[in-house]
Amino acid sequence: MKGIKRLIFLSLLVSIGLGLSIIESMMPLPFIAPGAKLGLSNMVILITLVVFDIKDALTVGILKSLIFTLITGSVTSLFYSLSGSILSCLLMYLIYKKFSSIFSLIGVSIFGAMAHNFAQVLVASIMMNNFRIFSYIPILQLTGLFTGYFVGLTSKFVIKSLKKSIDKIFYSND
């Protein structure tokens, strides 16, 4: 019973991430830097990481990237989103586990945004064979700072109430 509940929760998180990604792709931030995004779906990965575990967070992140590619139909963007979500997930896990006394969820989320930006620019420069793209990094990191801050803030509120209901669902006697 617990396994099924867990499965349903994780698939719900994946679909929430997909919905957020679609909404996000409809409203880019063209005034700051091309390619800058809100990173709303990073929220889902962060929430999974905290409420569940690193394995589930990686699963959610990879599934979200794969299914989002099926929706948009652009295969090249799969590599960007996949590399970004895997690296940010690993770094967020590291920071959350080892340095949670120093950084709150906001710091964890900012680290995730940084890793996401870095991985995407790295993959883009490898695929295009042009390392000039790294000149985008400062402005991307600045926008990532703001979006990461708000993603962390939102996740904090979500996790607070989600943990309560998850305890109720998973540890009730059924």
Q: Which residues bind another protein (CB under 8 A)?
A: 25, 28, 30, 34-35, 72, 74, 76-77, 80, 99, 102-104, 106-107, 110-111, 114, 124, 127-130, 132-133, 135-139, 141-142, 145, 149
Of the chain, the end-to-end C-alpha distance in Å amounts to: 8
Q: Which is nearer to another protein, 9 or 136 (CB)?
A: 136
DSSP-assigned states of every residue in 127-141: HHT-GGGGGGHHHHH
Cβ–Cβ under 8 Å, residues 118 and 85: no
Which of 19, 34 has the CB closer to another protein?
34
By beta-carbon proximity to another protein, the closer residue of 139 and 169 is 139
Alpha carbon separation from 166 to 49, 104, 140, 148 (Å, rounded): 14, 21, 35, 25
- What is the closest distance, in whole angstroms, from the C-beta atom of residue 113 to another protein in the complex? 10
Task: Look at the block and give the residue holding tokens 């989002």.
Answer: 68
The nearest distance, CB 73 to another protein, in angstroms, is: 8
Least gap, CB of 168 to another protein (angstroms):
28
Please, what is the minimum distance in Å from the beta carbon of residue 147 to another protein? Answer: 13
* Residue that has been written with the tokens 């620019």 in this structure: 121
Please identify, using beta-carbon distances, which residue of 80 and 93 lies nearer to another protein: 80
Nearest distance, CB of residue 148 and another protein, angstroms: 9
Pick 3 or 30: Cβ nearer another protein: 30
- Collapsing DSSP to helix, strand or coil, 174 comes out as coil
Please report how many Cα atoms fall inside a 13 Å half-sphere around the Cα of residue 120, on the Cβ side: 24
